[in-house]
């Protein structure tokens, strides 16, 4: 078995080529020579994997290489589970699993990170950004982020880890900032003759409770927390948008959103284009102007393949599992890099 010096791939040392090389070559031959979608079970290629490789667009030949399409969709969360079922899957664990596969596959020469997300949990968004950066540093493979319909707040934050950011002309981009929900129901419950009387260890132990009005001291504590997370967001954009000085980033970082065209004009993205332009950007960075690489994606067939971001659970959840918990009175506590009007 060939050895791999890639640090990320080394963590996948349990994966190895099977004894039946004929099946592998046959699958590759189909992927190269047929049109449409071809699914290659990675369980045959990679021991312990629960992913399959789907060929979206075939390349120009066996040696043209592959680009892995990885998607970030919906509200980004590191929390397992959906509305009815617990799950080991979340936005961060799914991204890491796919980046690990792309790192381990010598045929994958770059990653296209397609984003359609309004953002999500602060820590989830930061971990996504970190994993993209780490993948680039450890593999040397380029990552181009493509903002499809929306790359707002944490969606844009995650994109800052890429080598380049391209936006669809009509996408919604921006919303640099932080939000924390607070609700005061004290007058509503008082109308029903109800009074909450918690037993607590300190005066701020029930900080941000909806059952009483917030004090000035409590607001200052929460505002400081939000301000700290905001400064981190500004730092990430400042580092990722080298053509913008910090003063310009701060000017844009008031929570507003832009169209893709306007985002390119002000410098939040490199340029506008369509997904084929993002593929061409990767090919250009690889110095491939002739041969078109195949475009592939990883699809999960069954739960499994745990990594450091996986949470305990019993069923796979959709990447948008946080959405329902963010609506109405069942909002999850916490702070968010999120654009969600009406939240």
Q: Any idea what the CATH number is for the domain that residue 230 is in? A: 3.90.226.10
How would you class 271 by CB atoms within 10 Å of its CB: exposed for 0-12, middle for 13-18, buried for 19 or more? middle
Q: Which of residues 291 and 103 earns the better pLDDT score?
A: 103
What pLDDT shows up at residue 265? 98
Q: Is residue 158 part of a domain?
A: yes
Compute the C-alpha angle 133/135/138, nearest 5°. Answer: 105
User: Residue 39: in which H helix or E strand, if any?
Assistant: strand 38-41
Average confidence (pLDDT) over 334-342: 86
Tokens standing for 43? 């369980």
What pLDDT shows up at residue 309? 74
Give the integer Cα–Cα distance in Å for 212 and 187: 8
* Proportion of the chain above pLDDT 70, given as a percent: 73
Q: Is residue 21 part of a domain?
A: yes
Taking 90 as the threshold, does the pLDDT of residue 72 lie above it?
Answer: yes
Q: Is residue 2 part of a domain?
A: no
C-beta separation of 336 from 119 below 8 A: yes
What pLDDT shows up at residue 6? 52
Q: Can you tell me whether residue 221 is helix, strand or coil?
A: helix
- Rounded to two decimals, the pTM is 0.79
Task: Specify the pairing of strand 51-57 against strand 38-41.
Answer: antiparallel
Task: Give the count of domains, the chain.
Answer: 1
pLDDT digits (tens, 9 = 90+) for 203-233: 888 888 888 888 999 999 999 999 999 999 9
Which single residue is written with the structure tokens 């400042």?
238
Catalytic residue numbers read 153, 205
Average confidence (pLDDT) over 34-44: 42
Give the integer Cα–Cα distance in Å for 142 and 168: 20
Average confidence (pLDDT) over 27-35: 44
* Proportion of the chain above pLDDT 90, given as a percent: 54
Q: Is residue 1 part of a domain?
A: no
Q: Which of residues 65 and 2 earns the better pLDDT score?
A: 65
Give the integer Cα–Cα distance in Å for 325 and 83: 7
Give the integer Cα–Cα distance in Å for 108 and 110: 6
pLDDT digits (tens, 9 = 90+) for 288-302: 766 788 999 998 765
What pLDDT shows up at residue 27? 46
Domain extent at residue 208 = 7-338
Q: Is residue 250 part of a domain?
A: yes
Local structure of residue 76 (DSSP, 8 states): B
Q: Is residue 30 part of a domain?
A: yes
What pLDDT shows up at residue 80? 65
Average confidence (pLDDT) over 271-295: 89
Average confidence (pLDDT) over 70-83: 80
Q: Is residue 56 part of a domain?
A: yes
Strands (E) across 89-228 are located at 108-117, 119-121, 143-152, 164-167, 172-174, 179-180
pLDDT digits (tens, 9 = 90+) for 140-194: 999 999 999 999 999 999 999 999 999 999 999 999 999 998 888 888 888 888 8
Q: Which of 86-100, 105-119, 166-180, 258-272 has the lowest mean pLDDT?
A: 86-100
Taking 60 as the threshold, does the pLDDT of residue 35 lie above it?
Answer: no
Task: Specify the pairing of strand 271-272 against strand 164-167.
Answer: parallel
C-beta separation of 135 from 163 below 8 A: no
What pLDDT shows up at residue 325? 43
Tokens standing for 46? 């990679």
pLDDT, averaged across the chain: 80
Q: Which of 128-132, 159-163, 321-325 has the lowest mean pLDDT?
A: 321-325
What pLDDT shows up at residue 313? 44
Q: Is residue 83 part of a domain?
A: yes
């Amino acid at each position: 078995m060939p050895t791999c010096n890639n640090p990320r791939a080394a963590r996948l040392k349990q994966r190895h080529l099977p004894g039946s090389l004929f099946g592998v070559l046959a699958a590759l031959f189909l992927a190269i020579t047929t049109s449409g979608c071809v699914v290659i079970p990675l369980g045959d290629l990679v021991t312990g994997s629960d992913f399959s490789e789907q060929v979206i667009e075939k390349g120009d030949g066996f040696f043209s290489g592959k680009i892995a399409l990885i998607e970030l969709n919906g509200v980004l969360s590191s929390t397992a589970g959906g509305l009815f079922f617990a799950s080991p899957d979340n936005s961060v664990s799914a991204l890491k699993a796919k980046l690990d596969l792309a790192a381990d596959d010598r045929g994958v020469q770059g990653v296209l990170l397609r984003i359609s997300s309004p953002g999500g949990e602060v820590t989830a968004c930061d971990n996504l950004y970190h994993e993209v950066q780490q993948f680039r540093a450890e593999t040397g493979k380029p990552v181009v982020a493509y903002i499809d319909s929306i790359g707002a707040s944490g969606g844009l934050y995650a994109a800052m880890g890429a080598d380049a950011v391209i936006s669809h002309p009509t996408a919604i981009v921006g919303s640099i900032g932080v939000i924390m929900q607070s609700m005061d129901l004290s007058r509503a419950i008082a109308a029903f003759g109800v009074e909450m009387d918690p037993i607590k260890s300190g005066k701020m132990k029930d900080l941000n409770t909806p059952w009483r009005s917030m004090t000035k001291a409590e607001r200052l504590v929460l505002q400081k927390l939000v301000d700290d997370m905001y400064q981190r967001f500004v730092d990430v954009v400042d580092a990722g948008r080298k053509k913008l000085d910090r003063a310009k980033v701060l000017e844009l970082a008031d929570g507003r959103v832009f169209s893709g065209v306007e985002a390119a004009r002000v410098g939040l993205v490199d340029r506008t284009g369509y997904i084929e332009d993002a593929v061409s950007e990767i090919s250009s960075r690889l110095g491939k102007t002739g041969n078109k690489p195949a475009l592939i994606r990883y699809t999960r067939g069954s739960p499994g393949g745990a990594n450091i971001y996986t949470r305990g659970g019993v069923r796979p959840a959709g990447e948008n599992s946080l959405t329902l918990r963010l609506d109405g009175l069942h909002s999850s506590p916490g702070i968010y890099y999120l654009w969600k009007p009406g939240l």
